[in-house]
């Protein structure tokens, strides 16, 4: 059936266009007769001031697209669209001021472009409220919480989320210490020093929210810079099932099952290991120079961002949970922990620093790495 054309608007009559988000659709008189197989557009009509207008029915909004969690857990929702949000938060302040014109927008390789797109999508991800019904809508000035780790409701003492601040619109990583109450301002003094510490290989602590009630208890919320898609050294090189094998950080290939036996070529290549050494040494030097101790030099607490940039995370957590005044002794323990991390990476065995394996591990390092690396780990 042919749709009648909308009559022309009479002069002086009121136009209803401003009261509708969807403008009227113009259908020529011969449009439907030219093609009998074309499906008619569903319309409804309204009469205003003696003039009849035909409007198409509004289409429902696009359904959200569920994207699987990177940890293989519950899905998170995106709206199916993407818009570039500019530089990620932790590098925005390092934009060079001397570069002007269009030289900041150069052609990049497809791999780099896709990595940037994936990071932006990670920043825009939203948690499904049906999967995570217990997540609060807002924690102080932070909203849109998304779990970054599997949530264990019964035995967890800490949990990590991604959240967006309503103050500046920046995405942050927040670590919640469950059921921890601040009873004295002196407990927060070390964290003030952590907030002043700025190093490219240390995850910046931005804010501490004490005695937060948003989760139904008294929790401490530590707000850090968010590094999208960052993995821990444990995940990057040993996989998600620790002990299942060693994953090379360059080729992303699994070297096979690694037990207590050291295998040739199972560890990190030496140039990459030296890169880790330089960055972690720089981070520890900055931490120790401020009279602090990291106390989190561990495969699960050192983050890898991109291909080879490493960062110390969880700054200040140990100072809250287990305050200790023996700073020099704790700093020495940081260096011992760094040696254990390097030994695990060099041998491809996360348990290589065990007392019954350490001699065998050092023999492996002596046979496959330079004497400088062996002396450093020793």
Q: What is the mean pLDDT of the chain?
A: 77
148 and 239 assigned to the same domain = no
* pLDDT tens-digit readout, 156-169: 788 899 999 998 88
* pLDDT-wise least confident of 74-78, 179-183, 371-375: 74-78
* pLDDT-wise least confident of 79-88, 168-177, 215-224, 287-296: 79-88
The burial class, CB within 10 Å (0-12 / 13-18 / 19+), for 163 is buried
160 and 288 assigned to the same domain = no
Residues 261-273 have a mean pLDDT of: 72
196 and 281 assigned to the same domain = no
Domain annotation covers residue 321: yes
Domain annotation covers residue 191: yes
The candidate with the shortest Cα–Cα distance to 315, out of 224, 233, 184, is: 224
pLDDT reading at 155 higher than 90: no
368 and 282 assigned to the same domain = yes
pLDDT reading at 331 higher than 90: yes
What's the pLDDT score for residue 83?
57
* pLDDT tens-digit readout, 91-141: 555 555 555 544 555 567 788 888 888 998 888 888 888 888 888 888 888
- Confidence category of residue 56, pLDDT binned at 50, 70, 90: confident
131 and 116 assigned to the same domain = yes
At a CB cut-off of 8 Å and minimum separation 6, what does 138 contact? 166, 214
What's the pLDDT score for residue 45?
79
Residues 272-281 have a mean pLDDT of: 95
Chosen domain end from 225, 259, 274: 225
Higher pLDDT, 204 or 65: 204
Domain annotation covers residue 83: no
* pLDDT-wise least confident of 84-98, 188-202, 217-231, 337-351: 84-98
15 and 131 assigned to the same domain = no
What's the pLDDT score for residue 228?
92
Tell me which residue range forms the domain holding 15. Answer: 1-59
294 and 148 assigned to the same domain = no
- Confidence category of residue 290, pLDDT binned at 50, 70, 90: very high
What's the pLDDT score for residue 14?
45
Domain annotation covers residue 262: yes
% the chain with pLDDT above 90: 29
For the chain, the domain total comes to: 3
What's the pLDDT score for residue 222?
93
176 and 217 assigned to the same domain = yes
Domain annotation covers residue 86: no
Domain annotation covers residue 163: yes
The candidate with the shortest Cα–Cα distance to 180, out of 223, 222, 220, is: 220
């Amino acid at each position: 059936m042919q749709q009648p054309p909308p009559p022309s608007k009479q002069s002086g009559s009121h136009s209803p266009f401003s009261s509708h988000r969807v403008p009227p659709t113009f259908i020529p008189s011969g449009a439907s007769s030219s093609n009998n197989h074309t499906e008619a557009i569903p319309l409804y009509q309204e009469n205003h001031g003696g003039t009849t207008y035909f409007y198409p029915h509004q289409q429902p909004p696009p359904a959200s697209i569920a994207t699987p969690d990177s940890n293989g857990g519950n899905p998170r929702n995106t709206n199916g669209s993407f818009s570039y949000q500019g530089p990620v938060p932790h590098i925005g302040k390092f934009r060079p001021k001397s570069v002007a014109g269009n030289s900041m927008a150069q052609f990049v390789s497809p791999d780099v472009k896709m990595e940037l797109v994936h990071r932006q999508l990670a920043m825009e991800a939203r948690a499904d409220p049906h999967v995570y019904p217990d997540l609060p809508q807002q924690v102080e000035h932070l909203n849109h919480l998304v779990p970054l780790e599997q949530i264990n409701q019964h035995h967890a003492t800490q949990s990590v989320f991604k959240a967006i601040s309503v103050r500046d619109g920046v995405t942050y990583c927040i670590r919640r210490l469950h059921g921890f109450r601040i009873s004295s301002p002196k407990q927060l003094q070390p964290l003030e020093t952590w907030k002043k510490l700025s190093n490219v290989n240390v995850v910046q602590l931005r804010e501490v929210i004490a005695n937060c009630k948003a989760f139904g208890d008294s929790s401490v919320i530590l707000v850090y810079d968010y590094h999208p898609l960052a993995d821990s050294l444990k995940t990057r090189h040993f996989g998600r099932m620790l002990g299942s094998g060693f994953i090379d950080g360059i080729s992303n290939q699994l070297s096979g099952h690694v037990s207590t036996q050291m295998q040739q070529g199972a560890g990190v290549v030496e140039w990459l290991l030296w890169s880790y050494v330089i960055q972690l040494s720089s981070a520890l030097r900055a931490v120790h120079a401020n009279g602090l101790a990291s106390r989190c030099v561990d495969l699960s607490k050192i983050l890898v961002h991109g291909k080879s940039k490493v960062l110390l995370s969880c700054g200040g957590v140990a100072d809250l949970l287990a305050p200790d005044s023996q700073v020099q002794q704790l700093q020495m323990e940081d260096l011992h922990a760094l040696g254990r991390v390097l030994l695990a990476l060099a041998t491809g065995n996360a348990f290589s620093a065990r007392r019954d394996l350490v001699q065998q591990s050092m023999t492996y390092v002596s046979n496959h790495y330079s004497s400088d690396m062996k002396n450093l780990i020793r």
